[in-house]
Amino acid sequence: MLSIALRLRSEPALGLIGGRTEKIVTRTFIAALPLILIACSADNATGQNAADAPAKPFKTATIADFDSPWAMTFLPDGRALVTEKAGEMILFDPKNVDQSWGGKIRVQIQGRPKVDSEGQGALMDVVLHPQFTQNRIVYLSWSEQGPGGKGVALGKGEFSEAPSVCTGQPCPKQPILKNFQIIFRASPYVEGDGHYSGRIAFSPDGKYLFFTNGERQKFDPAQDPKATLGKVLRLNLDGTPAAGNPLAAQGFHPAVWSYGHRNLLGIAFDADGRLWEQEMGPKGGDEVNLIKPGLNYGYPKVSNGSHYDGRDIPDHAPGDGFEAPKVSWNPVISPGGLLYYSGNLFPAWKGSLFIGGLSSKALVRVKLDGDKASKADQWDMGARIREVEQGPDGALWVLEDGDDGSQGRLLKLTPAG
């Protein structure tokens, strides 16, 4: 059953038939067919893929599929926002996947510049404002063209839903991000399509936005005080650099919080307020780092890995002045997304980090103990995993990537027993 659905899913992408409305209706209607099949297959197999059964402590239900999804976040009402690489954002209702709209509606983003999705470019992260229930503000990151080349940008808009004009039944409300504003851009913009990063996290007190800027495959900008590339940044919620950032007085870009990073594809606070980050390192050098203000994490001067062209990079060593990772991987896992798990559905994993593995096609768990971290589990998922999210009931939700034969499915993981 599942294989039928997946074959349908791999149909060629639709061309533009007419205006915007036709495009929306057509793509959503077509998307509904495999959704129904997938939903049936999950029910028939009690949501468990046969290959998962013996080894994993969770069962896997296939909920939906998307076109190269990149990130997701849950709304307070249990629906979710999902970004897709090419630039669409989808409002998705996991409880209504079998209705005629497939439970998926495209969100119009008013005033956002064009997403450049070449290479690793994408509409990237989507995260709710800490006071979303009051102000309905949603933050997005994406890659775009601009003076000097390309770069990652950050913006925010107000999520609202209004009755739409349509002929189908049921006729859903049209969600929109109103008054979308660009509030921060990486600097400088450079040529190339790689290592944008673009992950967003809010401090536990809700006062600051932490934003990751990758080094764009240019190496040295990670150590350049003036560039935001290869850095963790601390911003105010309006996108301006936060006052009191640790390196501003030394001539760094005023937004810089830490530096010496490569491709930072996950950032999350733990229950005690520590900031954890994972990054795709060079060959044999993927990392989980505990981020502290003002520290230099070494890239490209030191790394436990080496350059992909074979050149050595000195390993981290005590007393070298660079902050070493808490965990590193060789062979690499290619971390694509990071979650700090705070739920109750998997009690043994409360307080662990979960990482989506791209080239490793794995879900990876890292156990935390205060400021220590250690490898715990690595489960084969059979597909590139881009994003890990925690659902309202504590279930783990993962999004597959859309590359290298991965299907872009949304999977829900619940305890096996």
Active-site positions read: 195
Q: How many residues bind Ca ion (CB under 5 A)?
A: 6
* CB 128 within 8 Å of CB 107: no
End-to-end CA distance of the chain, in Å? 24
Nearest to 295 by CA among 223, 399, 391: 223
Minimum distance from CB of 73 to Ca ion (Å)?
A: 5
* CB 68 within 8 Å of CB 403: yes
Binding mask 30-69 for Ca ion (x = CB under 5 A): ----------------------------------------
∠88-363-102 over CA atoms, to 5°? 35
List Cα–Cα distances, 141 to 152, 185, 291, 353, in angstroms.
7, 9, 21, 22
* Out of 52, 65, 389, 401, the residue judged to bind Ca ion by CB under 5 A: 389
DSSP-based three-state secondary structure for 168: coil
Minimum distance from CB of 234 to Ca ion (Å)?
A: 19
**Which among 73-81, 161-169, 204-212, 352-360 is the span making contact with Ca ion, rule CB under 5 A?**
73-81
Measured distance CA(361)–CA(51) in Å, rounded = 14
Measured distance CA(73)–CA(76) in Å, rounded = 10
Minimum distance from CB of 268 to Ca ion (Å)?
A: 9
The residue (of 101 and 139) whose beta carbon lies closer to Ca ion is: 139
Question: Binders of Ca ion among 231-260, rule CB under 5 A?
Answer: none
Strands 104-109 and 89-92: antiparallel
Nearest to 262 by CA among 325, 195, 211: 195
Question: Binders of Ca ion among 303-322, rule CB under 5 A?
Answer: 306, 313, 315
Q: How many Cβ atoms sit within 10 Å of the Cβ of residue 69?
A: 26
Minimum distance from CB of 158 to Ca ion (Å)?
A: 19
Strands 173-185 and 149-163: antiparallel
The residue (of 240 and 330) whose beta carbon lies closer to Ca ion is: 330
Minimum distance from CB of 71 to Ca ion (Å)?
A: 5
Sign for the CA dihedral angle at 307, 380, 34, 90 comes to: negative
Minimum distance from CB of 125 to Ca ion (Å)?
A: 7
Sheet of 335-340: strand order equals 335-340, 353-357, 362-369, 372-380
The residue (of 106 and 386) whose beta carbon lies closer to Ca ion is: 386
The residue (of 306 and 334) whose beta carbon lies closer to Ca ion is: 306
The residue (of 5 and 275) whose beta carbon lies closer to Ca ion is: 275
**Which among 51-59, 213-221, 350-358, 381-389 is the span making contact with Ca ion, rule CB under 5 A?**
381-389
The residue (of 60 and 73) whose beta carbon lies closer to Ca ion is: 73
Positions that interact with Ca ion (CB under 5 A):
71, 73, 306, 313, 315, 389
